[in-house]
Amino acid sequence: MAEVVWTEEADRSLLKIHDYIASQSPQNAFTVVESVYRRAQILATFPDLGHRHTTASGREVRILLWGHYRIVYHRPKEEEVRILGVFHGAMNLQEYLE
């Protein structure tokens, strides 16, 4: 099993999602954040579940889809999954990944 580690940037991106949704519905904000977090935990058992993406600079990441969100992560070590960020599907992910 791999350890799922959330970077500070990933925590911030999840907090931004929460705050955006909470402005309309605090309960829904909590539910969405909790479901994204739970979905990411599946990577402990299935660390290659997301699809592979190689950026123009050659950086390899994986992207796990969950509802309207993309959970971006990489595996710096065999036993670790590092969550880099969570992004709404409407966002231009290329700007972040480069």
| pLDDT, tens digit, 9 for 90 and up, residues 9-47 | 999 999 999 999 999 999 999 999 999 999 999 999 999
Percent of the chain with pLDDT over 90: 76
Q: Which CATH superfamily is domain 3-97 in?
A: RelE-like (3.30.2310.20)
Measured distance CA(65)–CA(76) in Å, rounded: 20
Measured distance CA(61)–CA(70) in Å, rounded: 12
